[in-house]
Structure 1
Amino acid sequence: MQQLSSIITHKSKWLKTLIVSALLLTLTACTAKLMYRNLDWAVLEFIEDYVSLDGDQEEILELQLKQFAQWHKTEELPRYEVQLQSLYDVDLSAIDEQFLVEQHQMFRTHIKRLANEITPELYSLSRSMSKQQIDEFLQNLTDQHEEYSEKYSQMSEREARARYKERIEKNLRRWLGTLSIEQKNIAYQWSTSIERTHQDWAIYRIETRDRIKTMFARRDDPFFYQNELTTLVNNPEQGYSNELSEKLKRNRALANQSILAILSTVSNEQKQHFKQEVGDWLELVQELQSD
């Protein structure tokens, strides 16, 4: 059930979008299979949304990403299989908070391993960037921030709550199928109790952009540069304000409480739906390992 709560909360946004392979946990199985088999291309396309690479950079990065994809297949997919098997075997009615916490921690560990593995490639690429490429990258970060701020600053409280509710119900339907009235009521209460974090994320994005700008400005200091890049990629939460960290903690507790309340009401049909959904992912991961 961890995938469900992780999809809904999306808290490690910068890292999760950076590591495209983590999308295996959010896409449909069919789409994920296509993306996984073209993982090097997908990551390259993502990076070039931020900075235009020259031919030599593309060639080197493509080689590095092929090696990354092989590592992921041999080292990570077996770990995903273990977690998916535990989800497939579990009785939804018997899930407790400890199980949710353990699943969440496993998910976070997957992400951290991905970040740690790809950090050398990102470091190598960033060191090869010209001033023009750095300026382009920073401008794209600024544009992304302004787009985010404009989108959420114009959203009323009512619109935000409606959006939360829509997302929660959509993901619940994906994993459980048709929802009961009681489950919809729990989802509604969940959506009205979430603490909004858009302003906190806006501040975080600005501060992160400024840290990256400073990092590039100090490229002649290799010790600082490498440490700062490693921290930004591997431990982005270090940049969270105390207010954001506390809100995320409370929202996580709320998510766990709400998920447990919903699971206490699941029908046999919903249990079967969940097992089928997880089973599809389990089958996909097994298939990808055998390719």
Structure 2
Amino acid sequence: MSRRCYLLIALLTASLLLGACSRVDLAYRNLDVIIPWTLDDYLDMNSEQKSWLDQRLQRHLNWHCSTQLPGYLDWLDRLQSMVRDNQVNDAALQARAEEAQQAITEIARQITPSAVELLQGLDDQQVAQMNRALAKDLQQHEEEYLKPSLTQQIEQRSQRMSKRLKTWLGTLSPSQKRRVEQWSASLGSQNRQWIGNRAHWQTLFSAAVQQRRAADFPQRIEQLLVDRESLWTADYRQAYADTEKAARTLLVDLMADSSPEQRQRLLKKIDGVRQDFTHLKCLQNAGHP
């Protein structure tokens, strides 16, 4: 179940945050299919639960499209203006990141009652299966991000970032590539703090679900989904702050070192995301341009 909530939040905001998907409209229109399909890896729902989830998910998607997406268009406009006016600085990036986080929090708050209701309806066998799936998920993350040597982790992180950046900026220059490598090296063993915090959250989540009949269960799930920062480990809290700062500094430096062609490509990609959102039927029905 936690995976379903992560997916709803992540998939609804991945395009907003300029994620890997280049066709926002296609991904968004299929969320009601993608989310239940992926959830099958974590929870064996019966037909009644699946029917309930389909109806509730559609309600959430309708709410999101009609009330949240218009604000995303404004967010993209502000992002475009930053690039066009050469104002990609730390303060502006921090403001955009805070706005994006607020959007994620609003989605989490909206879906929490549905998460609580579905979790409360699970039987012991479904909970046990979910816990096994979560443990497997954690093990896979540990193998992918912690098993390699620190040198390999740094190299892989650099490669992942370079791949993301190429989507939006095109081929990086030698100096930009060196800057990405410096950024990755500066994060050091950040993977360990991230995975450790993930394991901590999953432990708290499993413990809460085990007590899903308790009176305070809705409040515990709300904290786990909406106020997750309050549950971060001390190590991850510091690592997160350092990582966010490093990411903003990286982007500022890359844009300062960018070519006119790269900036034009970025503006075009952002505009493409905006157009994809604008063409969604639910926005058009609501009268948004």
**Fold conserved (TM > 0.5)?**
yes
Counterpart contact for 1:16–1:111, Cα < 8 Å: no
What SS class does the counterpart of residue 93 from structure 1 fall into? coil
Stretches of structure 2 lacking an aligned partner (at least 5 in a row): none
Asked whether 1:22 is paired with 2:13, we answer yes
- 2-side partners of 1:156 and 1:37: how far apart? 40
Deviation at 1:152? 2.7
Whether the aligned pair in 2 keeps the contact of 1:169 and 1:184 (CA below 8 Å) is: yes
The SS at the match of 1:51 is coil
1:200 positional shift: 2.2
User: How many angstroms apart in 2 are the aligned matches of 1:14 and 1:133?
Assistant: 14
Deviation at 1:95, TM superposition (A): 2.0
1:7-64 deviation digits (Å, cap 9, x = unpaired): xxxxxx996545232232424332x322211221222122222101111111111111
- Alignment match, 1:60: 52
Change in Cα spacing, 1:256 to 1:164, as seen in structure 2 (3 Å) is same
Cα 1:185–1:107 change in 2 (3 A) is same
The answer to whether structure 1 residue 111 and structure 2 residue 104 are counterparts is yes
Aligned to 2:176: 183
Preserved contact between residue 90 and residue 252 of structure 2 (Cα < 8 Å): yes
1:276, 1:196 → 2: CA distance?
35
Q: Does 1:230 align with 2:249?
A: no
Deviations 1:215-248 (A, max 9, x none): 12323322x2111111111122222111111111
| Correspondence for 1:131 among 124, 140, 145 | 124
5 Å-filtered alignment, 1:1-291, equals 16-19=6-9, 20-25=11-16, 26-30=19-23, 32-90=24-82, 91=84, 93-222=86-215, 224-288=216-280, 289-290=283-284
- Is the Cα–Cα contact under 8 Å of residues 115 and 234 in structure 1 kept in the other structure? yes
Following the alignment from structure 1 to structure 2, what is the Cα–Cα distance between the partners of residues 198 and 159?
12
Q: Deviations over 1:229-284 (max 9, x none)?
A: 11111122222111111111112111111211111122211111011000100111
Distance 1:95 1:201 in 2: 27
Task: Give me the TM-score of the superposition, normalised by structure 2.
Answer: 0.89
Identity, in percent, stands at 22
CA contact (8 A) 1:95 1:260 kept: yes
RMSD (Å) for aligned C-alpha atoms: 1.9
Query: What runs of 5+ residues in structure 1 fail to find an aligned partner?
Result: 1-12
1:86-121 CA distances to partner (integer Å, 9 max, x unpaired)?
122333633221100001001111111111111111
> Does the C-alpha gap of structure 1 residues 93 and 121 become closer, same or farther in structure 2, counting only changes over 3 Å?
same
Q: TM (normalized to structure 1)?
A: 0.89
Per mean C-alpha deviation after superposition, the further-off stretch among 79-88 and 152-161 is: 152-161
Runs of 4+ that moved beyond 3 A: 13-18
Number of corresponding residues? 277
Distance 1:270 1:202 in 2: 34
